[in-house]
Amino acid sequence: MTTISQSMAPGQLTAGRLPKVVVPALLAGAALLGLAISLLVGGGNLALAAALAYIIFLIAVEVSARIVEGARQAADRRATSMIVGAFVLALLPLGSVTWEALSKGAARFDLTFFTYSMRNVVGEGGGALHAITGTLWVTGMATLISVPIGLMTAVYLSEYGAKNRLAKAITFFVDVMTGVPSIVAGLFAYALMTLIIGPNTGFGFAGSVALSVLMIPVVVRSSEELLRLVPNELREAAYALGVPKWLTITRVVIPTAISGIVSGVILAVARVIGETAPLLVAAGFTASLNNNLFANPMMTLPVFVYDSYAHPGVDVQVYLDRAWAGALTLIAIVMLLNLIGRLVARRFAPKTGN
């Protein structure tokens, strides 16, 4: 009672409330003040201005709410400001990365970039054709390996496992597998290939194996979730017609969930297509086009970006421009895959029968 009565005038039934215009007004004032201070001491640094404005706003809201509304409302407003602030803060890197990639990547985002490799290129010119085809080969092969294993495991977990100990162990280790660091997956692929064919400088298929280790758990998780969404009535109807279980699964259960499964696979591809570290270790570097997954190093787009940045030639800027163009291409591919994945999921959503 004490806290409430403090903020209430005698004879008044409700506690005071700040008028609705106060918070926007304080925000605008704080922004102006922050900008002014930043101009005076920091030479107009925008980051400094924003940080100062935010602190001034927090203090102003706290003080005015405490005077008019009392301590509890002030705490509520403080929490609101900080939570909204956290969200805005997270948008900054997203906006900054997108802007940087667009503005710096545009310089070399041209026809040459998509039609030339880096073979015999030391200065200007050159492109990422070898890296783009390499990425398609390696990721395509990884998808070919991961989808059958991942999908069949999901089928086992949702249709056959019935919570037995093997299913429980698989579920647990699939979760553990999602946490395998990407570079460890690359080292694994390298170690595997070294044991089979001896020391090597990397080749495309090893990269595919590394990516599969990262991709399989994603495919299992999303497919299992989708298969479990298929209504049991469909299975029972099929059994009642005398259809064997495996045909029920392949002709009824999977087709019902296929859109979700496809979208899950696309999102899984989007996740691994940007992986750099495992390919750096397992697939190696090259400046030339290589369409053979099983011999000689194969360049991939993420490794191309890293290589252009980390090992530039004499004219550093030329290499940096190529790195940013590669980064822009990579972002475009990943965003496109994400978009397609979500569209497929929404457009062809499973028909649940009602």
The residue to which tokens 């492109």 are assigned: 127
Q: Residue 233, interface with other proteins (CB under 8 A)?
A: no
**Rg of the chain (C-alpha set):** 28
Stretch that binds other proteins, among 16-24, 123-131, 171-179, 257-265 (CB under 8 A): 171-179
Q: Which of 34, 204, 207, 274 is the binder for other proteins (CB under 8 A)?
A: 274
Those residues whose C-beta lies under 8 Å from the C-beta of residue 23, and which sit 6 or more positions away, are 61, 77
Interacting stretch for other proteins, rule CB under 8 A, among 26-34, 84-92, 136-144, 229-237? 84-92
**Judged by CB under 8 A, does residue 44 bind other proteins?**
no
Per CB under 8 A, contacts with other proteins among 50-69 are none
What is the rounded distance in angstroms from the CA atom of residue 179 to the CA atom of residue 55? 38
207-226: which residues touch other proteins (CB under 8 A)? Answer: 213, 216-217, 220
Size of the site for other proteins (CB under 8 A): 98
Task: Choose among 32, 28, 10, 7: nearest CA to 18.
Answer: 7
Burial class (CB in 10 A: 0-12, 13-18, 19+), 260: buried
For 83-119, b where at least 16 C-beta lie within 10 A, e where not — what string? eeeeeeeeeeeeeeeeeebeebbebbbeeebeebbbe
Shortest Å distance, C-beta 5 to other proteins = 14
Six-digit token pair at 216?
A: 């399989």
Give the nearest distance from C-beta 86 to other proteins in angstroms.
Answer: 3
Binder of other proteins out of 170, 230, 261, 269 (CB under 8 A): 170
Determine if 157 is a binding residue for other proteins (CB under 8 A): yes
Least Å from the CB of residue 44 to other proteins: 13
H helix intervals, 290-315: 301-310
Per-residue interface string for the shown chain with other proteins, residues 287-316, x marking contact by CB under 8 A: ---------------x--xx--xx------
| Crossing angle for the helix pair 71-105 and 316-347, to the nearest 10 degrees | 120
Q: What is the DSSP letter of 9?
A: -
What's the CA gap between 239 and 221, in Å, rounded? 26
239 binds other proteins (CB under 8 A): no
Distance (Å, rounded) from C-alpha 280 to C-alpha 24?
A: 50
Least gap, CB of 98 to other proteins (angstroms):
8
Q: What are phi and psi of 209, to 5 degrees?
A: -60, -45
Which tokens is 326 given? 């590669």
Closest approach of Cβ 107 to other proteins, in Å?
A: 13
Q: Single out the residue of 33, 102, 136, 187 in contact with other proteins (rule: CB under 8 A).
A: 187
Identify residues 323-352 at the interface with other proteins (CB under 8 A): 323-324, 327, 330-331, 334-335, 338
The residues in 116-145 that bind other proteins, with binding defined as CB under 8 A, are: none
CB 232 to other proteins: min, Å: 18
> Which CB atom, from 116 or from 309, has the smaller least distance to other proteins?
309
Q: How far is the CB of 84 from other proteins (least distance, A)?
A: 6
